[in-house]
Structure 1
Amino acid sequence: MTLSVQPHRDAVGLPDGLMFVDGKWRPGQDGASWQHRHPATGEEVGSFAVAGAQDVDDAVRAARRAFDEGPWPRLRAGQRIRVLHACAAALREHADELRALQALDNGVPLSFASVYATSVGVAADVFEHHAGWVDKIGGQTLPPFQGGDHLAMTFREPVGVVAAILPWNAPFLLFAQKVAPALAAGCTVIVKPSEHATFTVLRMVALLLEAGVPEGALQVVTGPGEPTGQALIVHPGVDKVSFTGSRAVGRRVIEASAGTMKRVSLELGGKSPALVFPDADVNLAGMTAMGMVTMGLSGQACVAHTRALVHRDVYDQFLAAAQLLAGMITYGDPFDPAVLASALISEKQRDRVMGYIETGEREGARLVAGGTRPDGDLAAGNFVAPTIFADVRNDMTIAREEIFGPVLAVLPFDDEDEAVRIANDTEYGLGAGVYTTDVRRAFRLARRLRAGTVGINGFQVEPHLPFGGFQQSGLGREGGQSAFESYTELKSVLMPLTEELM
């Protein structure tokens, strides 16, 4: 029997595939469209408009007009707070619909829809969190430094027009992490979803508009990186670009921003290590690390702990636990509650992951699980079996490059210093994990590891914590106060209190 998502598509219904520009749902000016193929079956599940340079220009001009003249940046704090809470409520109310759209977009199974990164609830949490900052962010009043008696003050003002460019793997979370703080700060926002996860974002934009976000303050242009994304990042009317995706595109964003000195926030992936010590719950560590690179997104997550650094004394035990979980992973129809993991997003990504597996074997790593593709009714999808490599050295390709697939590289170490040395020997620095029952070691290593987020005996990303990376994992942070402030500019104001000159 051939796997098909067509019955679910017909039951759920998809948004029209139009973009929202200058107050209207409309196709692209040149009529171009993109056919989206489902990653689990290869079926065409829908199409959406492709925005060209003129469409992007229309969106930017409308966003600029809304920022310069419209109501959103000028609303009182209480009004903006109420709208953001209404946005959160709308997302929660339509959670089942949005989860189904995500399953049709990127294939994340419904069984995983309550897990943080792929949860509608966490998107609502992010909107509520940033609603709380609207009336609390402020500047300072400072004493005069020289001259006559005067006030020296600072204010925070919205940065302006924001281009929010999203990846496909976690559309709920990434949409909220960019749009919520930008709107909370009083910016106007143009969203560009990934071409591989568009229908989810279209529906979220529609829900936010219904919740009270003014039309000019929120717009969405759809299409691939070229031409749509490129037109956005080079447009002189965009004041800030917030991008999550690959390092290669991140570099292009930086280069494009140089001409107009755009503000930039980038989250560009990782090669995160999990350090496992003999006193840890080794079985928990093995299943957690393997779960991060297999369950739900099948390792297509920037912060997945894809390098397991394991003390030699418990190395075999860790491998056994990881292999046990790998054998439990199920694939297939994302609407089936028994399915635990998704297909890879495209044929190109599937072939790329298989290429890394071949490279790992060629470079001498020991393949202990997976490394294959399923056959039968799953053959038409982009599935790759959970894969574990043992005896990996940190100079191997599979230990250094972000694979973005269900591949775990397990490296041995002998002592704490060696573990830290291996962990920090990377171009990335997004996340890390430490598995130990020694509290002093846990905090000692959390300080020594060069990573933006360190989990101790587990890992979680939360709305009120800053999330981002060191080194080539990006610039800036999402989440918490730091994210809110990144959508503002700091202004100094001086006012004399006497006739004396300042």
Structure 2
Amino acid sequence: MTLTMQPHRETVGLKPGLLYIDGEWGGATDGATWTHRHPATGEDIGELAVASASDVDAAVAAARRRFDSGEWSNTRAQERIGVLRRCGALLREHAEELRGLQALDNSVPVGFGAGVYAVSVEVAADVFDHHAGWVDKLGGETLTPYQGGDHLAMTFREPIGVVAAILPWNAPFLLFAQKVAPALATGCTVVLKPSEYCTFTVLRMVELLEQAGVPAGVLNVVTGPGDPTGERLITHPDVDKVSFTGSRGVGGRIVEASAATMKRVSLELGGKSPAIVFDDAADVGLAAATTIGAVTLGLSGQACVANTRALVHRDVYDEFIAAAEGMAGMVSYGDPFDPGVMSAPLINGTQLDRVLGYIERGKADGARLVTGGERLDGDYANGNFVAPTIFADVDNASTLAQEEVFGPVLAVIPFDDEDEAVAMANDTEYGLGASVFSANAQRTFRVARKVRAGTVCVNGFQIEPHLPFGGFKQSGLGREGGKSAIESFTELKTVLMPLGDEMM
């Protein structure tokens, strides 16, 4: 039976994608729209407004006015805390509705979104709760004077100003919260641009924040693709900071554009994260299931931090591959509203062609194809589905091991000793995440310290809302989450004040 999203579209109550500027919802000034096609069926799902340069200007102007007026940044801590806590509560209250909208946007199955914390609505709510707790702790220091007469030496943390927050399509709940919650907590105002491939979910979240009491103009939304919408936003002279998650190419363009006005920049730009499996791993089968699951379940490998390289000790190499192959054969596809479906298609035709191209390159480079490697047909022919794919005996210097595929493709690479494993783990331009599987506590800690990655987990992988997240090397700049996020949305000011009548 051919898949269709039309009944779900009516059930979820999908609305047109509008701009939200200074508390008002409306279309683009020039009437331009973009049609979203569902990645599992190829059907037209809905239209969203494409914000022109003038629309972006209006959104930034609204955010600028609200910031300069101080009406949000100068609110009492109690009031701002209350707003952020209501944001979290409303997100939890509407979790089922939001999961349905996400399934219409990027086809992440509702069952996966309900059961896996890192891509759930609950993690977004927790991020808002966590950052609400920072509002009354935005303090500086009073320091002992180093020289001179009787005076005070003080520091203050102040909001950075107008923030352009640019989201990818793959994890709207977490990434919306990781950018918007600390920005609001610190007193910034925001112009948000979601990906055109996941807009409807984000717009509903904005409606809930409006309902929670975020004032008009403090949070604004412009929708549309990178050209023209995103380009105007990142180059706008009245934007003080750009917070972006997405491709390395776009991240480079943001760094370039920021130079003209010295915008502050936070970037999370992807990874080629290793799972390092030692021969003394407590459960090699579980390590294999965890690794291949991150590459095939839910987002189907379209996650920046997924362990897409498995570095496996030769003594357990065959055992790992056999277990991973068995797990790959259990992955279920289809209607994302079916509770039995646990994996998504690739987001669009461009990404489908890209992933299939990497698979062909892996074959040409001599890697051994264990399973998968083809586009799914039959009932799935209208969607962008690729079978879970495992390559063994991959050269760590090859394209398949070095470049971010962003699809359900795992490269398995053997190693003989700890030093070789660490060297291969670090032999990449990226440094976002890593996992270490071993029953030896000293080894896991030793390797975790040696691997150059922003987040290293032992015997698994998870995300915590109060911990910093980001990457080394070309995986980005800065961190999101916890105290690090608060600091990234503030400027540090020094004030020196004499206590007597004399000049300093």
The whole-number CA distance in structure 2 between the counterparts of 1:406 and 1:354 is 10
Which residue in 1 is equivalent to 2:409? 407
Which residue in 1 is equivalent to 2:303? 301
Which residue in 2 is equivalent to 1:312? 314
The whole-number CA distance in structure 1 between the counterparts of 2:397 and 2:131 is 42
Q: CA deviation at 1:118?
A: 1.8
Q: CA deviation at 1:116?
A: 2.3
The whole-number CA distance in structure 2 between the counterparts of 1:268 and 1:116 is 22
Residue identity matched to 2:435 = G
Which residue in 2 is equivalent to 1:2? 2
The whole-number CA distance in structure 2 between the counterparts of 1:162 and 1:347 is 32
The whole-number CA distance in structure 1 between the counterparts of 2:42 and 2:119 is 22
Q: Among all aligned residue pairs of Structure 1 and Structure 2, give the percentage whose two residues are the same amino acid.
A: 72
Secondary structure of 1:320's aligned partner: helix
Residue identity matched to 2:338 = D
Secondary structure of 1:286's aligned partner: helix
Which residue in 1 is equivalent to 2:55? 55
Secondary structure of 1:330's aligned partner: coil
Mapping for residues 294-443 of structure 1, pairs under 5 Å: 294-443=296-445
- The number of residues matched between the two structures is 502
Residue identity matched to 2:109 = P
CA displacement, residues 256-300 of structure 1 (integer Å, 9 cap, x when unaligned): 000000000000000000100011011011010000000000000
CA displacement, residues 321-375 of structure 1 (integer Å, 9 cap, x when unaligned): 1001100001000000111100000011011000000000000000001001111
Residue identity matched to 1:187 = C
Q: CA deviation at 1:117?
A: 2.8
* Aligned with residue 287 of structure 2, among 285, 288, 291: 285
Give the conservation status (yes or no) of the 8 Å contact 1:274–1:434: yes
Secondary structure of 1:202's aligned partner: helix
Q: CA deviation at 1:225?
A: 0.6
User: Is 1:23 aligned with 2:23?
Assistant: yes
User: Is 1:71 aligned with 2:71?
Assistant: yes
Residue identity matched to 2:2 = T
The whole-number CA distance in structure 2 between the counterparts of 1:167 and 1:87 is 21
Secondary structure of 2:214's aligned partner: coil
Which residue in 2 is equivalent to 1:45? 45
The whole-number CA distance in structure 2 between the counterparts of 1:464 and 1:78 is 21
The whole-number CA distance in structure 1 between the counterparts of 2:408 and 2:286 is 18
Give the conservation status (yes or no) of the 8 Å contact 1:15–1:203: no
Which residue in 1 is equivalent to 2:202? 201
Which residue in 1 is equivalent to 2:218? 217
Q: CA RMSD in A?
A: 0.6
The whole-number CA distance in structure 1 between the counterparts of 2:79 and 2:10 is 39
Q: Which of structure 1's runs of 4+ aligned residues deviate more than 4 A?
A: none
Q: CA deviation at 1:416?
A: 0.1
Structure 1 range deviating more: 170-179 or 132-141: 132-141
Secondary structure of 2:104's aligned partner: helix
User: Is 1:144 aligned with 2:110?
Assistant: no
The whole-number CA distance in structure 2 between the counterparts of 1:97 and 1:461 is 23
Which residue in 2 is equivalent to 1:250? 251
Give the conservation status (yes or no) of the 8 Å contact 2:164–2:241: yes
The whole-number CA distance in structure 1 between the counterparts of 2:250 and 2:434 is 24
CA displacement, residues 369-408 of structure 1 (integer Å, 9 cap, x when unaligned): 1001111110100000000000001111000000000000
CA displacement, residues 419-469 of structure 1 (integer Å, 9 cap, x when unaligned): 000000000000000000000000000100000000100001101100000
Give the conservation status (yes or no) of the 8 Å contact 1:361–1:367: yes
Residue identity matched to 2:416 = D
Mark the runs of 5 or more structure 2 residues left unpaired by the alignment. none
Give the conservation status (yes or no) of the 8 Å contact 1:63–1:218: yes
Give the conservation status (yes or no) of the 8 Å contact 1:310–1:413: yes
Q: CA deviation at 1:69?
A: 1.0
The whole-number CA distance in structure 2 between the counterparts of 1:314 and 1:23 is 58
Which residue in 1 is equivalent to 2:97? 97
Give the conservation status (yes or no) of the 8 Å contact 1:108–1:342: yes
Instruction: Return the TM-score normalized by structure 2.
Output: 0.99
Which residue in 2 is equivalent to 1:129? 130
* Aligned with residue 474 of structure 1, among 465, 473, 476: 476
The whole-number CA distance in structure 2 between the counterparts of 1:274 and 1:15 is 41
Give the conservation status (yes or no) of the 8 Å contact 2:118–2:462: no
The whole-number CA distance in structure 1 between the counterparts of 2:390 and 2:167 is 30
Q: CA deviation at 1:119?
A: 0.4
Give the conservation status (yes or no) of the 8 Å contact 2:268–2:470: yes
Instruction: Return the TM-score normalized by structure 1.
Output: 0.99
Which residue in 1 is equivalent to 2:451? 449
The whole-number CA distance in structure 1 between the counterparts of 2:147 and 2:397 is 57
Q: CA deviation at 1:70?
A: 4.7
